[in-house]
Amino acid sequence: MTVGLQGRSRLTVGDDDTSIAFHSGDVPVLATPRLVALLEEASLDALAGRLDDGQTTVGMRIQIDHLAPTGVGAEVRAIATLDAVEGRRLTFSAEATEGDTPVASATITRVVVETSRFLERVS
């Protein structure tokens, strides 16, 4: 892993992406949990093809500031940049925008794991 790797994701907000659909609010705007997933998708895109066979990453921590509401039909773009590699721990800075408007900023921490060993822990 190299510091500076970047990944991207995007979403056209649909009814299934709203706070109403996620049961996290009662207004038809992009739900914070869906926004978190979009930012994580960008971090995964940065890692695509860079892990050893049998490895994956799992989310450990996300700190997010949801800065602006986004309505149904809007396109949200996310970018994640790998800022630090500390052993198996990977830290990304991420942001989402609608056009030029900041929608969110976040710090995402993911951990590299051996997939089979990780799944053995699931009951």
Active-site choice (40, 57, 91, 97) = 40
Catalytic residue at 70? no
Give catalytic status of residue 66 as yes or no: yes
DSSP letter for each residue of the chain? --TT-EEEEEEE--GGGBTTTTTS-SSSBB-HHHHHHHHHHHHHHHHTT-SPTTEEEEEEEEEEEE-S--BTT-EEEEEEEEEEEETTEEEEEEEEEETTEEEEEEEEEEEEEEHHHHHHT--
Annotated catalytic residue within 66, 81, 98, 115: 66
Clarify whether 41 is annotated catalytic.
no
Active-site annotation holder among 32, 107, 109, 115: 32
Q: Cite the active site residues.
A: 32, 40, 66
